[in-house]
Amino acid sequence: MREMATSCYGVRVRVVDATGARLCGRLRDLRAPEFGAADRASAEVSYVVTAGYRVACDGEPIFTAESADRLVAALSQDVESALS
C-alpha cells in the first residue's frame, strides 16, 4: 500500500493506493507547481483506491475507473476540485 499527501490553498489531501499500481507516483507527476507536501495524519480530504480501481473519498464511494490511466485522470481532477 502506498500513500501520498499534498496540500494547496490550505487544504490537505491524502491518497492511499491499495492497488499496488503505483498511482501515487503518477499523481505526483501531474501535480501543479503550487501543490506542496503535507502531513498525512492531518489530511482534510482522504481518498482510498482499492482493487478494481474503486475510489472512495472520506469513506464514501465516488467512482470506479476502467483502467489505471482513467483512474489517474479522474482522481487528479477530483483532487484539484477538492483543493479549489
Domain containing 68: what range?
2-83
User: What's the domain count of the chain?
Assistant: 1
User: What pLDDT does 57 receive?
Assistant: 95
Better-predicted residue by pLDDT, 57 or 80? 57
For residues 74-83, average pLDDT: 84
User: What pLDDT does 33 receive?
Assistant: 66
Rounded Cα distance, 39 and 54, in Å: 24
Name residue, grid cell 483543493. Answer: 83
User: What pLDDT does 7 receive?
Assistant: 82
User: 20-51: per-residue pLDDT in tens?
Assistant: 888 888 888 877 666 776 665 566 899 999 99
Backbone φ, ψ for residue 9 (5° rounding): 55, 30
Name residue, grid cell 489505471. Answer: 68
